[in-house]
Structure 1
Amino acid sequence: MADAALLSPQDPAWTEALDRVRHDIYHVPEYVRLDAGLTGGTPVAFRYSEAGRVLLVPLLLRPVPDTDLQDATSPYGYPGPVGSNDAAFWSRAAGAMTELLCTQGVVTVFTRLHPLLPLFPAALETAGTVVNHGDTVSIDLTLSLDELWSQTHRSHRNQINKAKRAGVKIVFDDWSLFGAWIETYHATMQRVNASEFYFFSPSFFDQLRTVLRDHAHLAVAMLDGRVLGGNLFFEYGGMMHTHLQSTAEAPIHYADKLLYHEVRTWGRARGNTVYHLGGGVGGSADSLFRYKSQFAAGRQPFHTWRVITDPRAYEKLAGTPTPESLTGRFPPYR
């Protein structure tokens, strides 16, 4: 018998579902609940089970302004559906999600899919639209150190060596440096004119560290007692992700390159299998993507999934759906 439900983070069925499928840090209830606090959304997970199989999608429910409706979006990161390895099952789960959320007054769903985990785009498209935003970069940590080095572009290799000769050192998990790193992070966001969303408060960073415990790590680049920058990254189930990164004002002596190199070396020594660097801004093949692509040969496409769960309510808010409205900024009424 099939069963579809919306779960709260406190419901043990959420963790039980994750115990049965491969997943990442972005799917655990503690992370989703913490992320919900940034936007005021309500953290939930859609769970669908059938004949021993299960699928789970973490979501944040948000009120649609000036209505009694809601819509659903992903937490920050890559928390797309995870489930049993069966495309037909995923298709039925997607249909069940659409039906259930419609009864809850939810108009649309927007979720970011995970580049490293099993995915069935054709199955998801039976209920919505899957958009390919381009490639992300990953480092295969099962390779030897020599192979990792050979995949690194010669300009990056030269600058990593220059950083070492300058005396830059990478320090791992020295949380006494967390405050100084947060200052460099905020300064970085100011330099790149980031949106207000990315100016996370020190209290949020403290909560992130507390909630994720041993899955959150900090790598800080130091020179003569000065913090040159650092990476806040996640480690979970053999997968690593750069979550947030920063650099101080110049000169930084190529500390950014050395950070990536030392983090991958650290992760490999701990038995992780892949280090995901992400892609360019919005998935584009921009200068950020080219920078990351010079560390490794691994490429995985990044997709988003957009679903209209209540067509009538959607048309009142945004008009008749068009290919442009389904593949551009979604939902368009936001």
Structure 2
Amino acid sequence: MADAALLSPQDPAWTEALDRVRHDIYHIPEYVRLDAGLTGATATAYRYDEAGRVFLLPLLLRPVPDTDLQDAISPYGYPGPVGSQDAAFWSRAAAAMTDLLAAEGVITAFARLHPLIPGCQEALADSGTLVHHGETVSIDLTLSPDELWSQTHRSHRNQINKAKRAGVEIVFDRWDLFDDWIKTYHATMRRVGATDFYFFGADHFHSLRAALDGHVHLAVAVADGRILGGNLFFEYAGMMHTHLQSTADGPVLYADKLLYHEVRLWGRARGNTTYHLGGGVGGSADSLFRYKSQFASGRRQFHTWRVVIDRCNFEKLAGPLTPESMTGRFPPYR
């Protein structure tokens, strides 16, 4: 007997499903609820059960402007589906999801898959389009410190040493520096011309820390009493992810390189197994990817999953459904 449902963050069935499968911080209801609040979306999780197996996918339901319809998208990060390892089961779960979302007036669904958690991703192609975007960079924290150092590109090693000689120090979980770090984050967003979405307010940062207590950490680079930058990162179930990073305006004495180095040593000492740095913009092999790739040799594949649930309304909003409309910006009417 199969059962499919959309769950609210308050529903204990959400956390009960997660207790049965490997998952990350992006899947827990507290994280999804906070992310939904940034855009006024509705936080939910699709759960599918069948013969003792479970499948779960967090989603944000968003109203489509000037219609009475919705679409569904992943929260920020890597909250792709997790579940029992059975390709045929995943295929049936995906098919049941399209039926359930259609009944909710949902036009499309978009999900970012998790590069670190194995799944039956190819089975998702039965109900939609699986798009490969490229590689992400991961650091194997089971390696020794010497092995981690040897995998670091010589230019990064040189600059890490320069930062140390310049007196840059990395301090962890100094929450009295949180508000000052937030200012450096906003300065970074202005400097790179980020969209309004990325200018998270101080209230969001403090809510994130409170909701994810014990799983969100702050590493700050300081020298001569000045904050040079920092990384806000997650630690959950042996996996670490850089969530947001910043560097201050003005000379930063290679603090960015030293931050990554010290965070990986900190994570290794705490028994974590993987530090995921992510990839380039949109998964591309750009300058950001090359920068990250010089910290480690680990590579993971990054995919997204796109589903057209209501083809008629999709074509009213976006024109004819084509291969290009499924592999470019999705959904194309946004």
TM-based fold match above 0.5: yes
Residue in 2 aligned with 1:299? 299
Distance in structure 1 (CA, Å) of the matches to 2:295 and 2:249: 23
Residue in 2 aligned with 1:254? 254
Residue in 2 aligned with 1:325? 325
- Where do residues 185-334 of structure 1 align in structure 2 (5 Å cutoff)? 185-334=185-334
Residue in 1 aligned with 2:13? 13
1:141-163 deviation line (CA, Å, top 9, x unaligned): 00111110000000100111111
What is the CA distance between 1:87 and its match in structure 2?
Answer: 0.9
State whether structure 2 residue 130 is matched by structure 1 residue 130.
yes
What is the CA distance between 1:119 and its match in structure 2?
Answer: 2.5
Distance in structure 1 (CA, Å) of the matches to 2:298 and 2:180: 32
Distance in structure 2 (CA, Å) of the matches to 1:54 and 1:313: 31
What is the CA distance between 1:65 and its match in structure 2?
Answer: 1.0
What is the CA distance between 1:309 and its match in structure 2?
Answer: 1.1
Gaps of 5+ in 2: none
Distance in structure 2 (CA, Å) of the matches to 1:250 and 1:89: 54
Distance in structure 2 (CA, Å) of the matches to 1:332 and 1:170: 42
Aligned length in residues: 334
Distance in structure 2 (CA, Å) of the matches to 1:278 and 1:178: 23
What is the CA distance between 1:250 and its match in structure 2?
Answer: 2.6
Report SS of the residue matched to 1:90: helix
Gaps of 5+ in 1: none
Amino acid at match of 2:189: M
Distance in structure 2 (CA, Å) of the matches to 1:187 and 1:36: 24
RMSD: 0.7
Amino acid at match of 2:231: N
Residue in 1 aligned with 2:77? 77
Runs of 4+ in 1 over 3 A off after TM superposition: none
Distance in structure 2 (CA, Å) of the matches to 1:31 and 1:168: 32
Distance in structure 2 (CA, Å) of the matches to 1:319 and 1:88: 32
1:278-313 deviation line (CA, Å, top 9, x unaligned): 001111111110000000000001111000111222
What is the CA distance between 1:121 and its match in structure 2?
Answer: 2.6
State whether structure 2 residue 25 is matched by structure 1 residue 22.
no
Report SS of the residue matched to 1:39: coil
What is the CA distance between 1:232 and its match in structure 2?
Answer: 0.1
Distance in structure 2 (CA, Å) of the matches to 1:189 and 1:133: 24
Distance in structure 1 (CA, Å) of the matches to 2:221 and 2:166: 12
Residue in 1 aligned with 2:181? 181
Residue in 2 aligned with 1:52? 52
Distance in structure 1 (CA, Å) of the matches to 2:88 and 2:265: 39
What is the CA distance between 1:315 and its match in structure 2?
Answer: 1.9
Amino acid at match of 2:238: G
Amino acid at match of 1:156: H
State whether structure 2 residue 166 is matched by structure 1 residue 166.
yes
Distance in structure 2 (CA, Å) of the matches to 1:318 and 1:183: 39
Distance in structure 2 (CA, Å) of the matches to 1:329 and 1:119: 24
What is the CA distance between 1:320 and its match in structure 2?
Answer: 2.1
Distance in structure 1 (CA, Å) of the matches to 2:284 and 2:277: 14
Report SS of the residue matched to 2:76: coil
1:76-130 deviation line (CA, Å, top 9, x unaligned): 0001101111111100100000011001110100111100011223200000001
Report SS of the residue matched to 1:252: coil
TM-score after normalising by structure 1: 0.99
Distance in structure 2 (CA, Å) of the matches to 1:42 and 1:177: 32
Distance in structure 2 (CA, Å) of the matches to 1:129 and 1:228: 42
What is the CA distance between 1:241 and its match in structure 2?
Answer: 0.1
What is the CA distance between 1:246 and its match in structure 2?
Answer: 0.3
What is the CA distance between 1:2 and its match in structure 2?
Answer: 0.5
Distance in structure 1 (CA, Å) of the matches to 2:126 and 2:197: 33
Amino acid at match of 2:152: T
State whether structure 2 residue 93 is matched by structure 1 residue 93.
yes
What is the CA distance between 1:249 and its match in structure 2?
Answer: 1.8
Residue in 1 aligned with 2:61? 61
